[in-house]
Amino acid sequence: MYQDKTLNCKECGRDFVFSASEQEFYAEKGFENEPARCPECRTARKAFRRGGRGTKRMYEAVCAECGQTAHVPFKPTDDRPVYCKDCYSKRNGY
């Protein structure tokens, strides 16, 4: 019945997929509107509203250790390495 839809995030402007299973979940919960923000911006917004880091914007970067995509709350620059959550934890003993 439901099919994946591509939506555009009103926060960062990137396209994201609103999956059929997410649509079904929204329907079960009685939500009438489709999400206006991508999952990353929704997560950042929730953290901000709960007194998190105070940032709305998350930036994509390539992890200097493993090469995977990382989402960070600051704009990466070329002068310092950026690590994904797992690699950062390993490097800092968390």
49 domain residue, yes or no: no
18 domain residue, yes or no: yes
71: nearest Cα among 93, 39, 94: 39
This prediction has a pTM of: 0.51
What's the pLDDT at 58? 80
> Which residue range is the domain that position 30 belongs to?
5-41
What's the pLDDT at 93? 75
37 and 63 in one domain? Answer: no
Most confident of 26-30, 48-52, 86-90: 26-30
Q: Number of structural domains, the chain?
A: 2
For the cut 70, the answer to whether the pLDDT of residue 21 exceeds it is yes
Taking residues 58-70, what's their average pLDDT? 91
Q: Who's near 13: CB < 8 A, 6+ residues apart?
A: none
9 and 37 in one domain? Answer: yes
For the cut 60, the answer to whether the pLDDT of residue 60 exceeds it is yes
| Residue 43 DSSP class | H
What's the pLDDT at 34? 95
